[in-house]
Chain A
């Protein structure tokens, strides 16, 4: 009974131990390494075969080989060998002579050295040195004799050697030529040997300067730093790093490692956790071109490096006027890029404006103005404030009424003056200015007249030029444009004289920071939204993820990456508890990714880097000096 229990439990322990050993031994990266070794072996082998084939096809090589072989046979013929043997004996004897002569001279020299020591000692002890000096003189003379003898025997040795060499000169020349031609084959053979004997080992780069970074990426990505695996036919994991010369040689991989740029968990030797898409690893690997977010860690500016994706993101951030609300250290504050609203009441239709504020895309699908999270009530309040507070008396000419008889002329003028090279009508035409296909419901004729006459008088910063239209041409264009109405425009009532409503509207506009892009009566813009300077290093617990865990689309793991990406793409996504203020810019996936790349460069931590990693462009003086030297 007990014996059986003993046997069974022992077997159990044995099985568990074997299991534990197996689980520990069977590591993912080992398979990658043996796979790669096989691929590289096959590749080298086929290279070798191809090389041999092409050499066999080469007539010159064949000829060289034949003459080398015949010459070799000659050298190895019995008579030649006998002669060679005699020569070897003679040379050996001469060599021994040289050795003997040199040995004698060496001994004498050494004795002189010891005398030198005695002399210097006697001098410091104030003893006599005369007798030793005499002795030294004698030895010196002897040494000169011996040196001469050495020269004599060496000369005869050199002469004999030269004769021997000349004897087989033809053969040695051929041999070296042949070996030169064959060098590549030898190299490949050696390489095959190395690959076959290569141990399965973890490859790592340790960089103490960078926070004791340990990168084990090359344990699996074995060809990252090897030329010859650029081809897409190799599995992705074994491909050479794109643009290796720039990224792994110029940025020496021994100094930079991998995760400095790519992020991810360099310590890991398991695929999933190494790429960092696991819990408890704060910095997952950047996907694709998003890695350009890292350039700015060392390069203070990316203008002069090929970080296109990052730079596009930067452009996008500037163009979208993100800086109007968010501060980024080192970036200039934004300009007000929206039209001023100081005289808006002389321009806009109240109903149209409610619709516009609620969602500009209803009127203009390509609107530059983003969509704020506003409801109709809020939009109405904003309209009331803007229209009641602004100056209704814009323009020199008052009371313009469209003339239906001029409509045809207006269309002609519009074309003739090239208006359609900037403005589209219902999607037809260029897209520099807004589409005017529904403008009749937006702007009143008087404003439009004055605007066309002199756009800068209303909006000093506008890019629309003053085309110098005559009064009649202007009225024609206005008449024509006023015929374009917004069919089915959603209707609403705005009482712009309701002070309470207007006050509410002012508060809403202040909250949403409208004055950052528009000039608004009684409001000032401010960069009062979260600063983006250190966004990429911001503590993850400071992001409000709302109830994101409930919605698998928003990501189960709460990562900084998913937050920033989703927030840029659709800002309201995490508004479960606090209603966010950020408007939606309707970025495409690629645009989002580019803007994200730019924001992920915002580590705000340049000063933490060791000096040697900081990119130091040469000053003008330094470059000049360099040129002078050349």
Chain B
């Protein structure tokens, strides 16, 4: 189950077509030569309108990308890492961490371990190498918390 769209005044205004498109294609995006034309047929419109709607969602920062989400540890290796960073160094350390091309999420969280990031690389050794490099660059060791078992992976956000 996924949460309903929050009843929020600052949620973006979405047209009916945008909602239908987002509800229909967060998974099962057409794997055919002309996917936008296939979407148009399914939603009863034209390929050009679908492409316009997608470009608009992209420009407004609602759509990040169209592509695959990967199941962990199948096409590569990854881990969740956390650092306990002194407050006055947080921005500097976060900048070093973010600059590493193998880091794809980097968040401040309210905990003694206040910097949380995800490291992905082709294999486990490469992930551990990235953590060692970051430790050297920042002078801080990171917790290495690799996934052991997935119970639930988000399959998209429904829009009412």
Q: Do A and B bind each other?
A: no
